[in-house]
Amino acid sequence: MSTFESITCPNCGQNITRYRNPVPTVDIIIEYSDGIVLVARKNPPHGWALPGGFVDYGESVEQAAEREAREETGLEVRNLRMFHVYSDPQRDPRFHTITTVFVARGDDVPEAGDDASEARVFGLDKLPEPIVFDHAKILEDYRRWKQGAGTGMPVT
C-alpha cells in the first residue's frame, strides 16, 4: 500500500503529492464511582465505545480528550493522565487511526450528547455488547493494569 498518491491539480494542471497519514484520535477511560463510562454510538460502527473522537487542528490530545468527554458524556474530567497509544491499522474499520488513550475521573451525572445516544456507567465485570473498535482490548489492558501493581504501561 502506497503512503502517497500523485494527483493533478484541477486549476493549474501540476502534479501534487497527497500523503496518506493515519488520523489522530483520543479515547478516554472515565472512572466513575465503581465503574467506567461508555457511550452508545449514534453513527456506524454502532455499539458501545469509550468516549472519544478526532483531534481537531490546533488542539492538543489532552484538550481533545477533555472536549470529547464533555461533548459525549456531559462530564468534566479531572486527573487526566495518558494510559497508552494504540496504532493497529485495523483498529478502526473506517480508516487508519492512531489513538492516545487517557484515564480520568468524572464528576456529575453522565448524560449523552454529540454523537452518543446513551452514556452509562458499567463495572468492568459487566460490560455491554457489542463493544466497537478495539475498545474491548483497551479495556482488557486497563483491567490488567488496574489488577497489577498499578505501575507501568500495559504490554501489548
Active site residues: 118
- Determine which helix (DSSP H) or strand (DSSP E) holds 62, and give its type and residue range: helix 61-73
Closest by Cα among 25, 42, 31, 36 to 112: 42
How far is 4 from 32, CA to CA, in rounded Å?
Answer: 43
State the Cα–Cα distance between residues 146 and 123, nearest whole angstrom. 13
Question: Residues 46, 48, 49, 50: what is their CA dihedral angle, to the nearest 10 degrees?
Answer: 150
* CA separation for the pair 32, 89 (Å, rounded): 30
- The span from the CA of 35 to the CA of 80, in Å, is 16
Indicate the DSSP class of residue 131.
B
